[in-house]
Amino acid sequence: MNYYIKSANIVNEGECFEADVFVSDGKIAKIVRKGEFFDAGEAIIVDARGKYMIPGVIDEHVHFREPGMITKADIRSESRAAVAGGVTSYMEMPNTVPQTTTQALLQEKFDLAAEKSLANYSFYIGATNDNLSEIVKTDPEQVCGVKLFMGSSTGNMLVDQDSVLVSLFRESPCLIAAHCEDEEIIRRNTQHYKELVERNERMPNAGLHPQIRTEEACYRSTEKAVRLAKQTGARLHVMHISTRAELLLFDSATPLENKKITAETCPHYLLFDERDYDRCGFAIKCNPAIKSAHDRLALWRGVKDGYIDTIGSDHAPHLREEKFTENYFTAKSGFPSIQYNLSLMADAFKRNNLKMTELVQLMCHNPAILYRIRQRGFIREGYFADLVLLDMNANELISNEKLRYKCGWTPYDGTVTHTQVTHTFVNGNMVYENGILHEENRGMRLTFTQTPCQSPPVCR
């Protein structure tokens, strides 16, 4: 099906300009600048006057819980939420049941997504202390990367043997995406507070979390990962940076396509700080922990100054009964967010005097460059038509009743956004239109190059 999207304000590669976009056979066939003539034939007209068009968001950090935890979420439910939020491609984590630590289990996930996913997809293979032989079989043109847990989190896939870490960094054929928290520090802090609870018979609230998963725990582990990457030449992407101390470990000056060591943060580290635990409680308990207001402000400076390379959601659904509990030590870490992250970030960038082009760089262009994704992440002729239309003058109340997530709740319940996704196209198919999902088509498997993508020239 062909579409002719008229009079959009296109935000792409540092520019904002008015143009029409002709979509044919799943690709961006023609970008028609204002004043140019183009005959779109019998294409379906989409009026985008007053709206912004951006490339589809590429979320390199999600947990969709399938297989094994489908009471919380599954690929169909969470990909529906993704496209409703302007996310056209995602990369999903291996801490499912069973854990995705072999090539056979990895392929099973790809098969599930081909059947169920409305958005484009890839999946990480997970590292363990004993599966290097499976890691080295990974095809870097077909798989987004290797997920390494240097601190235990949901699913407990901790890799804690130094010899294994060195071998993994030396031999991984793909980018290594790392969760960095020092396990020794976390265990020591946890034991300390458990002993206090036993003596005082009083359970701590959610505000304890950054005192257990501390800045020191994050910094020590991240420093180790960065040191290993420099020693071995590995490509390392440290996920969900949450502290100002960690930012100093990264380079802001080098063009992204030349960086081998990069950093991601998440919307919740930019929108919340430790003062919000009293209001939100365990709803915002996540790993690494949301930390101080000073850390939050430092992360915004990191975004502005180029130390942060991508913004991923860390979308991590849990059931209400697992989150809203009286026991700090059993309340699950992680929360769902993918449906409204783009809207929330667009509003937050405006409040922080950042341009929409900068948001698009972090959420659309940079993931494509960093992961070397073929023909996505930009509005370019010949690229897949992964496109999003935004109304940036629309007030929307986020409420649990509107969510597409299977778990049915969000810590953003009651928040008003001033940016709304109105249309989402995946591979040239309109999958979301003014609150309505069109589920006739499925997303595609992402593919990757082995050489750095640049902007410009075009990466094919």
For the segment 37-56, what is each residue's pLDDT rounded down to a tens digit? 899 999 999 999 999 999 99
* pLDDT interval class at 458 (50, 70, 90): very low
The pTM of the full predicted model, rounded to 2 decimals, is 0.96
Q: What's the pLDDT at 321?
A: 96
Q: What's the pLDDT at 457?
A: 41
Using DSSP, state whether 196 is helix, strand or coil: helix
Q: What tokens were used for 172?
A: 């991984």
What are the pLDDT digits (tens) for 385-397? Answer: 999 999 999 999 9
Query: What average pLDDT score do residues 422-447 get?
Result: 98
Rounded to the nearest angstrom, the gap between the alpha carbon of residue 341 and the centroid of all alpha carbons in its chain is 9
What are the pLDDT digits (tens) for 184-233? Answer: 999 999 999 999 998 887 889 999 999 999 999 999 999 999 999 999 99
Q: What's the pLDDT at 157?
A: 84
Query: What is the C-alpha separation between 377 and 380, in angstroms, rounded?
Result: 9
- Encode 377-411: b = buried (16+ Cβ within 10 Å), e = exposed: bbbbeebbbbbbbbbbeeebebeeeebbbbbebbb
435 φ, ψ to 5°? Answer: 90, -5
Query: What is the C-alpha separation between 72 and 96, in angstroms, rounded?
Result: 11
Beta strands 261-265 and 310-311, pairing class = parallel
Q: Which residue type is seen at 409?
A: W
Query: What average pLDDT score do residues 90-96 get?
Result: 97
Query: What is the C-alpha separation between 221 and 225, in angstroms, rounded?
Result: 6
Domain 56-371: assigned CATH number? 3.20.20.140
How would you list the strands of the sheet with 261-265, edge to edge? 125-126, 146-149, 176-179, 236-238, 261-265, 310-311
Return the H-helix or E-strand segment holding 417.
strand 416-417
Query: What is the C-alpha separation between 371 and 447, in angstroms, rounded?
Result: 10
Does pLDDT of 104 surpass 50?
yes
Return the H-helix or E-strand segment holding 369.
helix 366-371
User: Domain boundaries in the chain?
Assistant: 56-371
Beta strands 120-123 and 87-92, pairing class = parallel
Of residues 230, 238, 216, the one with CA closest to residue 166: 230
Q: What's the pLDDT at 460?
A: 33
What are the pLDDT digits (tens) for 256-276? Answer: 999 999 999 999 999 999 999
